[in-house]
Amino acid sequence: MVLAGPFAVTSVRQGCYILTFVDDFLRFTWVFFLHHKNEVVHKLQDFNTHVEHKSRKAIKVLRVDNENRYVDRRLKNFCRIQGIDLQNSPEFNPHKTDVVAMRIRTLKTMESCMIKAKSLNPTLEVEAISSATHILNRSPHPALDGKTPFEAWCGKKLVVSHLRVFGCPTWATLSSRSCKALAPRPCTFISYEDNAKAYKLMDPEAHEIFVEKDVHFEESSPNLSSNPLCTSYTLETDSDTNDSASTRSDT
In a domain? residue 76: yes
Distance CA 52, CA 35 (A): 25
Q: What three-state secondary structure class fits 133?
A: helix
Domain interval for residue 125? 2-154
Same domain? For 138 and 176 the reply is no
Q: What is the pLDDT of residues 42-92, one digit of tens each?
A: 999 999 999 998 888 899 999 887 656 677 888 889 999 999 999 877 655
Q: Sort strands 85-88 and 169-172 into parallel, antiparallel or unpaired.
A: unpaired
Q: Which of 130, 154, 178 is the last residue of a domain?
A: 154
In a domain? residue 189: yes
Q: Which of 121, 154, 187 is the last residue of a domain?
A: 154
Q: Sort strands 214-217 and 61-64 into parallel, antiparallel or unpaired.
A: unpaired
Residue-level pLDDT at 82: 93
Residue-level pLDDT at 182: 52
Q: Which of 154, 180, 212 is the last residue of a domain?
A: 154
Same domain? For 174 and 223 the reply is yes
Report helix, strand and coil shares of the chain as percent, to nearest 5: 30, 20, 50
Residue-level pLDDT at 174: 63
Same domain? For 147 and 176 the reply is no
| CATH code, domain carrying 91 | 3.30.420.10
Same domain? For 150 and 173 the reply is no
In a domain? residue 93: yes
In a domain? residue 248: no
Same domain? For 173 and 150 the reply is no
Residue-level pLDDT at 248: 44
Number of domains in the chain: 2
Residue-level pLDDT at 68: 61
Same domain? For 130 and 195 the reply is no
Q: What three-state secondary structure class fits 154?
A: helix
Residue-level pLDDT at 220: 79
Residue-level pLDDT at 109: 93
Residue-level pLDDT at 237: 41
Do 20 and 31 form a contact (C-beta atoms < 8 A)? yes
Cα dihedral 51, 136, 10, 184, rounded to 10, equals -100
Residue-level pLDDT at 14: 59
For the chain (251 residues), the mean pLDDT of every run of 10, in chain order, is: 75 74 91 88 93 89 75 88 85 61 89 91 87 93 90 86 90 61 76 85 83 85 44 42 42 50
